[in-house]
Structure 1
Amino acid sequence: MAGPHVGGPGAALRRDQFAFGPLEEGEALVEPILGAWEANVDHALARSPIDVCSSRGENTVVLGNTGVVRVLKVNAESRDVRAREGALCLLLPFGRTDRFGYAELAYAYDEPGTIGLLAKQSKMDVRLLLPVPEDTAYSLPQWAAYGRYFTAWDNWHKAYGCWRTQVADDDPANHLVFGWGGGVAFAELMLAKRAGFRVAMTAGSDERIAFLRENGITAVDRRRFPALSLPTREERTDRDRHQQRRTSLAAFRDLVNELSDGYGVAIFVDNIGEPLYDVTLGALAREGVVATCGWKAGMRLSHLRGAECIKRHLLVNTHVWRLPDSPGIRDFQEAEGWIAPKGSTVIYDFDRVPELADDYTNGRIGSYFPMYRVNPL
């Protein structure tokens, strides 16, 4: 990504040569194999919520911070067994961490000087390279989707822990976990399902509805509620639009009541934001939790504080995960099969990355796990 913002997401990308210096102590030269197309790449191309070029003080940024790389060379003075030459590794997207190991700045996003996976070769800190398990039962595309799963792991465990502080011993089978559509929400609902909860999630296409059903999640057809989002600025004076929203809201709440025996959602995974936040709160049970680790369509939220206090609603905000937890999450994925289902990914060749950017932004991708191939395996 280079220069000023000049239009759509594909137009913000430019293929060019770039140079980086020799390997510093503790760095590895890598060859990206597969990169996952994450929401942060879309945000970077849209220059919202921040302009990463301006934030980093750089004219050109190489994006792409989750995926699989092959290690070509490791600095001889800092050879790390985890990142030995020839190893296939997951890139962990940590630019800067706080004292507890949580991300403050993201690698290949807002951390200056970091080089992402949208390059034929790159160099990175060996501490950010986590080997794919040897003799793994899963494919590289399944592993390349790990970023959504690691993020979901952290968000789910924090949300579930908060819920248990108020609902200490009731059976999860009596409670509903609901998610607005997305790969992270899907991964969280699979954890909720393992924990014994009822699980449901919205989807806006026949392909995704079938996918959710195949994986044991109650699929809610988003097309049944066409006016559920907040009216746009242009629609605020349109009385018909407000009536349509009231109709969609009533139908959605009826469905939630049906799925939850009238109690509402125990844990609501909402990574959309402002357009649906009031719907999320309206569907939430007493002692319910809103779990969020993203902001696809609006960062600024508002609610009636008194009402939220009386209902004992908790709001859990997380971002990425804790760096030291990474090996344990990977090992859980390998041991338990909590990973992108086989055949669920869609892969664009490197030359088609601008097309991938446009398709993602405009909702033309059926898979929850879009990715790009940089180099052959």
Structure 2
Amino acid sequence: MPVSTEAWFLYGRKAGEPRTARLVRESFTLPDPGDGEVQVEPLYGSFEGNMGHALERKPIDICRQRGEERVVIGNSGVFRIVALGANVHGLREGQYGMVTGVAVPDLWGYPEKIFAYDGPGTMGLLAKRANIKQACVVPLPDQTRHTLRQWAVFSLRYVTAWSNWEAAHGMFRLLVGADELPAPHVWGWGGGTTLAELSLAARFGCRVVMLSGSAHHRETIRAHGVEPLDRAQFGSLQFDEKRFSEDREYRQQYSEAEARFLDEVKRRTDGLMTQIFIDYIGGPVYRATLKALGREGVLTTAGWMEGMVVNYLRAVECIGRHQHVHTHFARRRQCEAAVAYGEEHGWMPILEDRTYAFGEIPQLADDFLAGKTDVFPVYSINEIDEAYVPGAPRTSGSGPST
């Protein structure tokens, strides 16, 4: 039967309102799960870049895009299944799962629209209860060795990293074999997905470096087995084409910063430069990223943190045999492969202690947009005994609260 519950809602922008939205906590009545749906009790989520984009309404107002007055975002997290709709197979009540972001797949299962973002009619995990399609559920391994908080982060960032790395590494190996260069140089800048991908590259025997201007984040980077490099030491690597052409002082400052950066890349790679560069920032660093690529280099991305529009000289890229890889989340078989690999090999995020409570979601949103969160910002929705192991028999006092 329908249940009364609550969620943090994002409303479409009205005339005169600020561009950046504020989430609104409201009660609502959730119907029974429909055909092919499951009802879930969200437990933990990870605050993602696309959630920030949704709040800033950049590049789109997702409510307007979806033709809906209000939406519930949150597309990275874990939950417990509490009810099954008709024609749901292979899942059971009480089972733990993570969400997969494919709301509207293409012919081969890759996402055209993302769950709880631009996917119409989809309801995210910033709710005490939610109904979601079975196709968006990936069960967690029974008796998993890892925590629910880790899986909450894994469900989007690590799956995205898996799909992108599969394409980028596969592309490079079409050009240069493992017998020719066993340990490619792989660098990156961005956030948690970049770190996840670099930590995966390290497991593939690559020599990995991640740039960050935050001392605290560099500690996290090192803890994941990735060599951190202070981006601030090079000066401003924020390229602005208009200023570069019109402002002599800026042009000199940028050119010097770029030269210092490229000298460091050359020094650390013994002149090879990078074979794969993972760039989730975009426009402001695109010029420096391209110059840091060696011959047969691969520039790979699945995001656009600070700029979607980029320019390059096609002739230069052709002569250098540079390959540009673009991916968008993953298809289901990649989700399942990533989960299996992560469980077996311990490819998991190392998390800090801070977990934002459900009532602190607006503060988390503010902190995220201000760049004040950890690399992997985690929040809770429904309380759960941290000692509970998914898949284990439940005992009195353990498991999720109701």
Q: TM-score, normalised by structure 1?
A: 0.94
The answer to whether the 8 A contact 1:189-1:199 is kept is: yes
Instruction: Please state how far the C-alpha of 1:242 moved relative to its aligned partner.
Output: 2.1
Instruction: Please state how far the C-alpha of 1:335 moved relative to its aligned partner.
Output: 0.4
Matching residue of 2:320: 311
The AA in structure 2 aligned to 1:25 is D
Count how many residue pairs are aligned between Structure 1 and Structure 2.
Answer: 372
Matching residue of 1:104: 112
Of the three residues 131, 137, 141, the one matched with 2:145 is 137
Instruction: Please state how far the C-alpha of 1:181 moved relative to its aligned partner.
Output: 3.2
Matching residue of 1:47: 57
Instruction: Please state how far the C-alpha of 1:248 moved relative to its aligned partner.
Output: 0.9
Instruction: Please state how far the C-alpha of 1:213 moved relative to its aligned partner.
Output: 2.2
Once residues 118 and 214 of structure 1 are traced to their aligned partners in structure 2, the CA distance between those partners, rounded to angstroms, is 29
Unaligned runs of 5+ in 2: 1-9, 385-402
Matching residue of 1:376: 383
The AA in structure 1 aligned to 2:41 is E
Aligned to 1:70, the other structure's residue is in SS state: strand
Query: Given the alignment of the two structures, is residue 186 of structure 1 paired with residue 181 of structure 2, yes or no?
Result: no
The answer to whether the 8 A contact 1:154-1:318 is kept is: yes
Report matched runs for 1:326-345 at 5 Å. Answer: 326-341=335-350, 343-344=351-352
Report matched runs for 1:216-255 at 5 Å. Answer: 216-231=225-240, 237-255=246-264
The AA in structure 2 aligned to 1:230 is F
Once residues 180 and 354 of structure 2 are traced to their aligned partners in structure 1, the CA distance between those partners, rounded to angstroms, is 37
The AA in structure 2 aligned to 1:16 is E
Report matched runs for 1:177-326 at 5 Å. Answer: 177-231=186-240, 237-326=246-335
Query: Given the alignment of the two structures, is residue 155 of structure 1 paired with residue 155 of structure 2, yes or no?
Result: no
The answer to whether the 8 A contact 1:344-1:368 is kept is: no
Report matched runs for 1:73-88 at 5 Å. Answer: 73-75=83-85, 77-82=86-91, 84-88=92-96
Which stretch of the first structure deviates more once superposed, 325-334 or 49-58? Answer: 325-334
Aligned to 2:162, the other structure's residue is in SS state: helix
Matching residue of 1:128: 136
The AA in structure 2 aligned to 1:374 is I
The answer to whether the 8 A contact 2:12-2:64 is kept is: no
Once residues 214 and 222 of structure 1 are traced to their aligned partners in structure 2, the CA distance between those partners, rounded to angstroms, is 18
Q: TM-score, normalised by structure 2?
A: 0.88
Unaligned runs of 5+ in 1: none
The answer to whether the 8 A contact 1:345-1:368 is kept is: no
The answer to whether the 8 A contact 1:173-1:198 is kept is: no
C-alpha distance 247-234 of structure 1, shift in aligned 2 (>3 A): closer
String of CA shifts for 1:31-51, please: whole Å, max 9, x gaps: 111111111111111111121
**Identical-residue share of aligned pairs (%):** 40
The answer to whether the 8 A contact 1:288-1:312 is kept is: yes
Once residues 317 and 26 of structure 1 are traced to their aligned partners in structure 2, the CA distance between those partners, rounded to angstroms, is 31
The answer to whether the 8 A contact 1:175-1:260 is kept is: no
Of the three residues 68, 74, 78, the one matched with 1:64 is 74
The AA in structure 2 aligned to 1:262 is G
The answer to whether the 8 A contact 1:8-1:358 is kept is: no
Instruction: Please state how far the C-alpha of 1:7 moved relative to its aligned partner.
Output: 3.2
Once residues 336 and 79 of structure 1 are traced to their aligned partners in structure 2, the CA distance between those partners, rounded to angstroms, is 31
C-alpha distance 232-117 of structure 1, shift in aligned 2 (>3 A): farther
Aligned to 1:369, the other structure's residue is in SS state: coil
Once residues 345 and 131 of structure 1 are traced to their aligned partners in structure 2, the CA distance between those partners, rounded to angstroms, is 25
Instruction: Please state how far the C-alpha of 1:92 moved relative to its aligned partner.
Output: 1.0
The AA in structure 1 aligned to 2:62 is V
Instruction: Please state how far the C-alpha of 1:20 moved relative to its aligned partner.
Output: 4.2
Once residues 296 and 353 of structure 2 are traced to their aligned partners in structure 1, the CA distance between those partners, rounded to angstroms, is 36
Of the three residues 26, 29, 37, the one matched with 1:27 is 37
Instruction: Please state how far the C-alpha of 1:107 moved relative to its aligned partner.
Output: 0.7
Aligned to 1:78, the other structure's residue is in SS state: coil
C-alpha distance 136-99 of structure 1, shift in aligned 2 (>3 A): same
String of CA shifts for 1:1-50, please: whole Å, max 9, x gaps: 113163374x4311123344332111111111111111111111111112
Instruction: Please state how far the C-alpha of 1:67 moved relative to its aligned partner.
Output: 0.3
Once residues 370 and 226 of structure 1 are traced to their aligned partners in structure 2, the CA distance between those partners, rounded to angstroms, is 27
The answer to whether the 8 A contact 1:200-1:220 is kept is: yes
The answer to whether the 8 A contact 2:40-2:132 is kept is: yes
